[in-house]
Structure 1
Amino acid sequence: MLTVDSLTVRKGEIDILLDVSFRVNPGETVCILGRNGAGKTTLLRAIVGAELTSAGQSVIQGCDMHQPERQKVLSDIGAAIYPNSFYAYLSAFENLRLTQRYYGVTRFSVNEILHLFELHEVGKRPANQLSAGMKQRLLLALAFINKPMLLLLDEPFNAVDRDNTRFILRLLAELQREYQTTVILTSHSLPDVEAFYSRILLLKAGQLVADRTKDEVRASGISLTELYDDYA
């Protein structure tokens, strides 16, 4: 599915990511943890080829994401990496229609994705008038409209109330079961990660310092919070 090999991102004299390597198998839920500035968002961007790298590779389904061949797999990747990456003055429906036109034809219709993310009642409302939770649902709907095999999410629970967080967690789990979607997400919300992850990657100052499956974390006898405190 995904192979990240010695990925390095350097800005001036500073290494934002340094020699990061890991593999992600189909159907995994990988949570990238780390303190502010650890390089989590940069890693997501580098994975999909949206960040200029200094060294290394990100390969998805055999395609190097920093080469022109990346176009072959972009339609199978959904990403919600930027906050409010939609047109604020357009409605939820209109934002989804624009994304659909980008793909040409999507595997979900606009109405289907509105209902799936329970946005149909606010579908005609301008995006900038939606609550924080509904805006987050819209970001996820935009990322999922083409039933991606790989979904990358940056802080999907950030500034979202508990009801919307529970909804998002439940829906992501359902989508993963039904469509075998591979999910890679960043988060600071350890309790929410605990309920969802199958594997943890922990970054510190741009370096990968821990890579553990849920079973390995449990077998170690320490909590996810303790692991985070020990390594981050």
Structure 2
Amino acid sequence: MNNILKVENLKKFYASDCVLDIENLEIEESSIYGLIGPNGAGKSTLMKLILGLVKKDSGKIFLFGKELNKKNQKEFNRVLGALIENPSFYEHLTGYENLEIICMLKNISKNEITRTLELVGLTNAANKKAKEYSLGMKQRLGIAIALIGHPKMLILDEPINGLDPQGIEEMRNLFNNIVTNSSASILISSHILDEIEKISTHIGILKSGKLIYNGKLSDYRMIHPPFISIETSDNIKTASLLNISQKNVKNKKLILGKKSNDEIGKIVHYLHGKVDIYRIEEERESLEKLFIAETKGVK
């Protein structure tokens, strides 16, 4: 599979502070790359570097196999869609008029406007001034500005802020449809890690400007396998039989930890006739919990 974006030895300093130091990052076509990290970890800085909004101190950025530079940045930005931090638009203009301006700047047919407004659920508000939009509607307009013109790559910084649960689900479906029906890719950041997990094929975890994980979400999940819990007629007795601390009894369950199928089978066989087994469940730690552990340095 071809790479849409590749970053090599990218560094950015503010004064003497290194705010970004990425040795390698690759985003494949038709993928959704979820970028997560604490505030100040460098997420927005990376996105701004790709778009040429800030200047890198060293390293290389490649888009579609070509290295980005001052001369070609504007050309590449025509095939990128971006929403960085808060959406920017003219509040005294309507949603439709705001998209008209983007079409002129990117030399895109105005025929795209109706389709794009429909995609983000703003058809009925097309002729309403942006200053009269709710927070969620403004966020949708920002996404529409990023989407217009069939960009080959979307760069979205906190795109679902201000959206209600239905709006979040609609955006999730929209992003999945984009990568499913085209070779475009999405680089997306969000503090709503549950949503990142639902839509991402790959993730990058930034800590103090460095990528501490960079790869497929499925591979990350293999590094952190699910744990097993068991519910019996007497969880305290079960803990004693298995030589497990009673502290592992939580919410009517005994947490066994990460066990293989073979180990689970032996446990069930050993407990047979000693306690009644009601339920054995496989439970995954949330991405949010794993993220907190990673970024705090907890093993």
TM over 0.5: same fold?
yes
- 1:141-195 Cα shifts (integer Å, max 9, x gaps): 1111110110000001223221211111111112221223200011110111111
Corresponding residue number in structure 2 for 1:209: 212
Q: Is 1:122 the equivalent of 2:125?
A: yes
* 1:44-193 correspondence to structure 2 within 5 Å: 44-106=47-109, 109-193=112-196
Corresponding residue number in structure 2 for 1:28: 31
Q: Normalising by structure 2, what TM-score? A: 0.74
Q: AA paired with 1:85?
A: S
Query: How far off is 1:72 after superposition?
Result: 3.4
Query: Structure 1: which 5+ residue stretches go unaligned?
Result: none
- 1:59-106 Cα shifts (integer Å, max 9, x gaps): 101333233123332221111114121111111000000000111224
Query: How far off is 1:214 after superposition?
Result: 1.8
Asked whether the equivalents of residues 8 and 53 of structure 1 are also in contact (C-alpha less than 8 Å), the reply is yes
Secondary structure of the corresponding residue to residue 203 of structure 1 = strand
1:4 maps to which of 4, 7, 14: 7
Query: How far off is 1:108 after superposition?
Result: 5.4
Query: How far off is 1:20 after superposition?
Result: 4.0
Question: Which whole-Å CA distance do the structure 2 matches of 1:161 and 1:196 have between them?
Answer: 17
Q: Is 1:230 the equivalent of 2:293?
A: yes
Bigger relative contact order, structure 1 or 2 (CA pairs below 8 A, ≥6 apart): 1
Structure of greater Rg: 2
Secondary structure of the corresponding residue to residue 84 of structure 1 = coil
Paired positions, count: 232
Secondary structure of the corresponding residue to residue 78 of structure 2 = helix
- 1:3-62 Cα shifts (integer Å, max 9, x gaps): 101111101011111244211111110010000111100011112222111111111013
Q: Normalising by structure 1, what TM-score? A: 0.94
